[in-house]
Amino acid sequence: DHHHYQSQSRSFAGKYTPSSGSLSTRRELYEKDFPLYKQPVEIGCFSLDCNRRFFNDGRQMRYYVEPDRNPNFNLRDGYKDRFTKRDESQKEKLDHILRWIVSNRSKLNSKGVAASSSAIDFDFVTWRGHLTKLLCTPYEMREGWMLAVTRFQGTIYISEVETEAARRDCENRTEKHEEMMYWGYKFEQYACSDDVDGSPDPSGVVNTNEAFCTVVQTRLADHRLLFSGEVDCRDKDPNAPAPPACYVELKTSAEICTPKQRSNLHRFKLLKWWAQSFLPGVPRVVAGFRDHDGVVVAVETFHISKISQLIKNEYNCWKPTVCMNFCSDFLSFVKRVATEDNPCVVYLFSWEPRRDVTYSIHRDSEFSFLPHWYVEEMTR
């Protein structure tokens, strides 16, 4: 099945894995059969408004309005005078997802009391973006990561910790780079409307506090996952398939002028685009290709289910099976390591390119990330 999703469960052929203090990220080790990955199901959504306030509904949903194949969107417009930027120093960790869980707890509780060891019937709770990083790890040559892990009531929570290198990069961003980060949000404004029958309004303010997030449930091998990811927009056709199949991911990328540039898009960018959208079952990515002056000169749709075919012609390219098998083995590693069920204990998993994944253990430290309100709410 070239879509790689599985609609039915099949038995998990658990095999002996030696227990060890580290996990290899070498690609060859993960060139196995594609693991079971169930069709992701949307179990809810939430919105963050212009002040980053949480709402347990889809009020920030936007609708995709197909741009001209060769538009002339100026992505620099409004950067100076119509841009409200989210405060990046506010580290939100898993807070919005935890608020969603508390608001929807009745839907999540196991029906039979003794049916499960975990109170919410999931092995892992995390952001989709953290899983994207895991999927890309065997091919990542530049940026490492740190993931804080806590086991609480049988469920393992995973929240990213900013690395020293990432903090430096963030502080040393050039003005040019700062502006280019705005371009992606500006493209969204050109391609989305707030109302199902409306049109985009590029004269408005771009506010990066606003977000619509889907909450999906799925299973990777024997890992039951609950994660949330930000969704750019949906198909406005009322007959479009149900979420997440109606969702559209928007991207901007440098214009492609040479075969070498097309090859680099396939070898590096499509890996990240594929991983991010495959995880929640978003079927298509619409890319706006811009010139050096930030003008979108071409728009192209990439269907996630066709990407594995597209890249097969590239020499020494990434493989979806390596990404999924690494992620599955990493989650098994985490289950083996994070044994103490305690909201104050963090297992900190760290990885740097060309190294193995290692971990350290922290009790009542600055890495603890499950808020008191969440622990209290879930224990009552």
Residue numbers at the binding site for Ca ion (CB under 5 A): 232, 250
Which residue from 179, 222, 230, 255 is in contact with ligand 0WD, where contact means CB under 6 A?
Answer: 230
Query: Measured from the CB atom, is 138 or 294 closer to Ca ion?
Result: 294
Site for ligand 0WD in 171-200 (CB under 6 A): 184
Nearer to ligand 0WD, 36 or 161 (CB): 161
Q: Which of 62, 96, 99, 234 binds ligand 0WD (CB under 6 A)?
A: 96
CB 251, min distance to ligand 0WD, A: 6
Please say which residue, 73 or 330, places its beta carbon nearer to Ca ion: 73
Map the chain to HEC letters. CCCCCECCCCCCCCCCCCCCCCECCCHHHHCCCCCCEECCEEEEEEEECCCCCEECCCCCCCEECCCCCCCCEECCCCCCCCEECCCCCCCCCCHHHHHHHHHCHHHHCCCCHHHCCCCCCCCEEEEHHHHHHHHHHHHCCCCCEEEEEEEECCEEEEEEECCHHHHHHHHCCCHHHHHHHHHHHHHHHHHEECCCCCCCCCCCCEECCCEEEEEEEEEECCEEEEEEEECCEEECCCCCCCCCCCEEEEEEEECCCCHHHHHHHHHHHHHHHHHHHHCCCCCEEEEEEECCCCEEEEEEEEEHHHHHHHHHHCCCCCCHHHHHHHHHHHHHHHHHHCCCECCCEEEEEEECCCCCEEEEEEECCCCCCCCHHHHHHHHC
C-beta of 184 vs 288, nearer to ligand 0WD? 184
The single residue among 132, 137, 308, 328 that binds ligand 0WD, judged by CB under 6 A, is 132
Distance CA 197, CA 194 (A): 9
CB of 251 to Ca ion, least distance (A): 6
* Distance of alpha carbon 150 from alpha carbon 110, whole angstroms: 21
Minimum CB separation from Ca ion for residue 58, in Å? 17
Compute the least distance from the CB of residue 133 to ligand 0WD, in Å. Answer: 8
Give me the least distance between CB of 162 and ligand 0WD, in Å please.
7
Enumerate residues 144-163 that contact ligand 0WD by CB under 6 A: 160
Residue 276 interacting with ligand 0WD (CB under 6 A): yes
Q: Report the distance separating Cα 354 and Cα 292, nearest Å.
A: 33
Residue 229 binds which entry of Ca ion, ligand 0WD, none, with Cβ cut-offs from 5 to 8 Å by kind?
ligand 0WD
Applying CB under 6 A, does 129 fall inside the site for ligand 0WD?
yes
Question: The tokens of 26 are what?
Answer: 């070498």
Instruction: Tell me how far, at minimum, the Cβ of 213 lies from ligand 0WD, in Å.
Output: 6
For residue 96, the partner it binds in Ca ion, ligand 0WD, none, with Cβ less than 5 to 8 A by kind, is ligand 0WD
Q: How far is the CB of 216 from ligand 0WD (least distance, A)?
A: 11
- Nearer residue to ligand 0WD within complex by CB, 32 or 167: 167
Q: Binder to ligand 0WD among 144, 200, 229, 244 (CB under 6 A)?
A: 229
- What is the bridge-based pairing of β-strands 145-152 and 345-351? antiparallel
CB of 185 to ligand 0WD, least distance (A): 7
Burial class (CB in 10 A: 0-12, 13-18, 19+), 317: middle
36 vs 148, beta carbon nearer ligand 0WD = 148
128 makes contact with ligand 0WD (CB under 6 A):
yes
Work out whether 127 is an interface residue with ligand 0WD (CB under 6 A): yes
By a kind-dependent CB cut-off of 5 to 8 A, residue 180 interacts, out of ligand 0WD, Ca ion, none, with none
Whole-angstrom distance, CA of residue 212 vs CA of residue 58: 7
Question: Residue 47 in contact with residue 60, Cβ under 8 Å?
Answer: yes
Give 184 or 244: the residue with its C-beta nearer to ligand 0WD.
Answer: 184
Range in contact with ligand 0WD (rule: CB under 6 A) among 100-108, 127-135, 254-262, 312-320: 127-135
Residue type, 336: R
Applying CB under 6 A, which residues contact ligand 0WD?
Answer: 48, 86, 92-93, 96, 127-129, 132, 160, 184, 211, 213, 229-230, 251, 276
